[in-house]
Structure formats: structure tokens, C-alpha cells
Amino acid sequence: MPVETGTGLFPSAGPSLAAAAQASILAAHAAAWGIPTLSRLAAAFPDGAIVVTTSPTGLTAWSDLISRLPAPIAERVATATEIEYRGWCMRLPDEAHRLHAVVWSWIKAPLPPQRRPDFTSFPIADSADYWVLRYGHTSVEEGGQSADLFSWDGAVATRLATGITERFRSRG
């Protein structure tokens, strides 16, 4: 299984099962969180573009959601992978977000084994992986981020917690 979608604990499941589970999570999240977030940003930022960054697995879900938005909003929203967005920011910097807002929604899967102790209050089987759906937004006026925690047993992704705040350890 590729590094992006698993640890290799579930080689018989193949990457397509994990990718399908991630696509389902991202589609549900885009509908529940994405519509209100995009609508609010479009109203608060009437002249700016809105970029949604997601994983390749999430592009279809977000593109589908955007196509269902009212045209005045949908015309201002573009989707990109994180690497595409970073390249765009390097070519056309807008660090103050005066011209665009960014919304992100992607899954970190699996979390590295050294992160397991961070989630001891959400125990999972030793054979399972933790996945984190990271989402948030930044605009000229506001920003925020959050995450939802899932377990992946090789066949089913189960939500363990919503709205968690991840704590990152500094390296060095």
C-alpha cells in the first residue's frame, strides 16, 4: 500500500478501499462543513477568489459540491491539491489573503506510529491506523482550523472524535 494511504498493515485491502473510504469521508465533510464555509466566505469576501485545497481523493467530492453552489459563488471557487496551491502561492504571493481565501480539507493517513500516544484517549486496535481529517480556512479577516479523528481497520473508517485540536511536537 502506498505511504499516502496506509502503513501496509492491510495489503489485501489495497489502496482503492482506503481511497474510497477517504473519498466518502471527504464528500460528507464537503457537504456538511464546506457549503456553509464557502457561503460565509463568499459573503464576507465579495470580490475575492476562494481556493479549496484537498487531496487528489478529495478533488472530485469538492468539485461536485462546488458545481451545486449558486453560480455567483461557484464561479469564484477553484480546487487544487496542496502542492498545486503551494506552487501558485510561490508564483503569485498573497500572504495577507487580500485577493483570495483558502479553505482546506484533507486526510492525513495514516498517522505515523510515533503519534499514537497523542490519541490514547481514543484507543484502537494495534492493527488499526489513525486517520486525521484536517480542515480550516484563512482569509484576510479570519481563520481557523480543526480536525476529526478516525480509525481505519483495513475495511471501515470509524469516526472517533470531531473538532479535535492537534498538538504538534517541535523537532530538534
Strands (E), 38-128: 49-54, 77-81, 100-108
C-alpha torsion sign, points 131, 5, 51, 93 = positive
Distances (CA, A) of 29 to 9, 97, 104, 137: 26, 24, 11, 14
d(CA 47, CA 76): 9
Evaluate whether 65 touches 35 at the Cβ level (below 8 Å). Answer: yes
* 10-residue mean pLDDT series, the chain (172 residues): 39 72 95 94 92 94 92 94 93 90 95 91 95 94 92 96 75 42
Tens of pLDDT along 85-109? Answer: 999 999 998 888 889 999 999 999 9
Place of cell 457549503: 35
Local structure of residue 113 (DSSP, 8 states): G
Q: Hey, is 139 helix, strand or coil? A: coil
As beta bridge partners, residue 79 has 52
Give the per-residue pLDDT at 3: 32
What DSSP assignment string belongs to 88-109? HHHHS--TT-SSEEEEEEEEE-
Q: What is the pLDDT of residue 165?
A: 82
Q: How far is CA 154 from the centre of its chain?
A: 20
pLDDT at residue 141 in the model: 84
